[in-house]
């Protein structure tokens, strides 16, 4: 098992607070991390509508506050498949229905969770489990991750029960690019990297990538690995397949409750790489 802290119980969480060198942030700081270097980019991407309210979800701290909602990126008001669901609860059934229309049975949507941008992707693991990898049918792959220098960070298979690992055919990805913190997206543009096909291995070939339009970084949402920030904080994330980003963005741990996706705040330090 790598140094990375897997899903803690309450006691373990308390112990983590004493770990030497660990970064710990409270809810207020968490919100701030969503508003630092790329606030302008975030605002531009989300549009001006209700930005402040997005950063301060209402409801007084109930579990419902942590449900993922759709967010229609600026410029996609007419094209996003979820355009009429802006700021509404994101539903697993709707992601599945959209995915059923595609060749890969994948679909994605921009969202907001706990005041932060996320990208949620449907990965058809339940459909493709047991099929040959050579069939080029998408599925979650647990891989070994390396840092920007090529040094091994860790293997995602050592954390296969972690709630951040895609499950229930869903992956929830922190929507900040580790390059300069723009917000990548699912099918924001039409190009080779967003084509409706898939290849295994987390390479830069094939489509179905997250794509950052700022400087063309690509990320494979099906290729799960241990990543590491420049500050040495390890996290489960998706693989950078190309472009200037040093690593891929973090995965957000979550539970499925009914038809909703409920993000978990177990490891807020994962989201500090844009600080
Ligand atoms: S900010 Fe995403 S590629 Fe530069």
Q: Over the stretch 174-190, which tens digit does the pLDDT of each residue have?
A: 999 999 999 999 988 88
pLDDT category at 267 given cuts 50, 70, 90 is confident
Report the pLDDT averaged over residues 222-232.
89
Taking the centre of ligand 1 as the mean of its atom positions, its distance from the CA of residue 181, in whole angstroms, is 6
Of 30, 8, 69, the C-alpha closest to 266 is 8
Query: Which residue among 177, 241, 246 has the greatest number of ligand 1 atoms within 8 angstroms of its CB, and so is best to mutate?
Result: 177
Beta strands in the chain (DSSP E): 69-70, 107-113, 116-122, 141-142, 144-146, 152-155, 170-174, 185-186, 210-212, 217-228, 234-242, 254-257, 260-263
Flag whether 212 is in a domain: yes
For the CA of 41, the closest atom of ligand 1 is: 1
Taking the centre of ligand 1 as the mean of its atom positions, its distance from the CA of residue 214, in whole angstroms, is 5
Of 206, 221, 239, the C-alpha closest to 139 is 221
What whole-number distance in Å separates Cα of residue 226 and Cα of residue 7?
Answer: 14
Taking the centre of ligand 1 as the mean of its atom positions, its distance from the CA of residue 45, in whole angstroms, is 13
Average predicted confidence (pLDDT) for the chain: 80
Q: What is the DSSP letter of 105?
A: -
Taking the centre of ligand 1 as the mean of its atom positions, its distance from the CA of residue 126, in whole angstroms, is 32
Q: What is the pLDDT of residue 275?
A: 67
What whole-number distance in Å separates Cα of residue 102 and Cα of residue 137?
Answer: 12
Whether 150 shows a pLDDT value over 90: the answer reads no
Whether 59 shows a pLDDT value over 80: the answer reads no
**CA-CA-CA-CA torsion for 51, 24, 226, 93, nearest 10 degrees?**
-40
The region of weakest confidence among 57-66, 159-168, 260-269 is: 57-66
Residue with tokens 């990538």: 209
Query: Which residue among 38, 178, 180 has the greatest number of ligand 1 atoms within 8 angstroms of its CB, and so is best to mutate?
Result: 180
Q: What is the pLDDT of residue 123?
A: 98
Q: 109 and 118 in contact (C-beta within 8 Å)?
A: no
Flag whether 185 is in a domain: yes
Flag whether 5 is in a domain: no
Flag whether 1 is in a domain: no
**Residue whose CA is at the smallest distance from ligand 1 atom 3:** 215
**Residue whose CA is at the smallest distance from ligand 1 atom 4:** 215
What whole-number distance in Å separates Cα of residue 140 and Cα of residue 98?
Answer: 19
Q: What is the DSSP letter of 91?
A: B
Counting the structural domains of the chain, the total is 1
The region of weakest confidence among 73-77, 228-232, 254-258 is: 228-232
- Which residues form the pocket of ligand 1, taking CB atoms under 6 Å from any ligand atom? 177, 179-180, 182, 212, 214-215, 217, 243-245
Q: Count the Cβ atoms, other than its own, within 10 Å of residue 18.
A: 8
Flag whether 97 is in a domain: yes
Q: What is the pLDDT of residue 149?
A: 81
Judged on CB neighbours under 10 Å (0-12, 13-18, 19+), 275 is middle
For the CA of 244, the closest atom of ligand 1 is: 3
Flag whether 183 is in a domain: yes
Q: How big is the CA angle at 38 (ends 36 and 39), to the nearest 5 degrees?
A: 70
Whether 57 shows a pLDDT value over 60: the answer reads no
**Residue whose CA is at the smallest distance from ligand 1 atom 1:** 180
Q: How big is the CA angle at 147 (ends 158 and 226), to the nearest 5 degrees?
A: 20
Query: Which residue among 174, 238, 245 has the greatest number of ligand 1 atoms within 8 angstroms of its CB, and so is best to mutate?
Result: 245
Q: What is the pLDDT of residue 188?
A: 84
Q: Count the Cβ atoms, other than its own, within 10 Å of residue 16.
A: 15
pLDDT tens, 23-42?
Answer: 333 444 434 333 333 333 33
Supply the range of the domain harboring residue 108.
10-272
Q: What is the pLDDT of residue 229?
A: 81
Tell me, what CATH number does 48's domain have?
Answer: 2.102.10.10
pLDDT tens, 92-141?
Answer: 999 999 999 999 999 999 999 988 899 999 999 999 988 998 889 999 99
What whole-number distance in Å separates Cα of residue 199 and Cα of residue 125?
Answer: 14
What percent of the chain lies above the pLDDT cut of 70? 75
Flag whether 156 is in a domain: yes
Flag whether 2 is in a domain: no
């Amino acid at each position: 098992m790598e140094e990375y802290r897997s899903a803690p119980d309450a006691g373990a969480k308390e112990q983590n607070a004493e770990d030497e060198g660990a970064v710990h942030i409270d809810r207020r700081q968490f919100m701030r991390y969503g508003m630092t270097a790329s606030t302008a980019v975030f605002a531009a991407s989300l549009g001006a509508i209700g930005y402040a309210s997005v950063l301060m979800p209402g409801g007084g701290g109930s579990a419902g506050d942590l449900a993922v909602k759709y967010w229609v990126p600026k410029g996609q008001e007419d094209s996003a498949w979820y355009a009429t669901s802006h700021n509404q609860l994101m539903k697993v059934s709707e992601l599945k229905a959209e995915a059923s229309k595609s060749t890969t049975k994948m679909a994605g949507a921009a969202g907001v969770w706990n005041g932060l941008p996320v990208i949620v992707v449907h990965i058809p693991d339940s459909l493709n489990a047991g099929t040959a990898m050579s069939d080029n049918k998408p599925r979650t792959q647990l891989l070994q991750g390396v840092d920007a220098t090529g040094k091994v960070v860790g293997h995602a298979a050592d954390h296969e029960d972690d709630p951040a690992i895609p499950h229930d055919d869903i992956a929830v990805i922190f929507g900040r690019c580790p390059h300069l913190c723009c917000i990548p997206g699912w099918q924001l543009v039409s190009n080779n990297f967003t084509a409706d096909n898939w290849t295994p291995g987390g390479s830069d070939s094939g489509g179905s990538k997250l794509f950052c339009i700022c400087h063309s970084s690509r990320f494979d949402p099906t290729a799960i690995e241990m990543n590491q920030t420049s500050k040495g904080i390890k996290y489960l994330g998706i693989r950078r397949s190309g472009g200037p980003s040093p690593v891929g963005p973090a995965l957000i741990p979550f539970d499925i409750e009914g038809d909703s996706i409920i993000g978990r705040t177990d490891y807020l330090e994962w989201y500090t790489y844009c600080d």
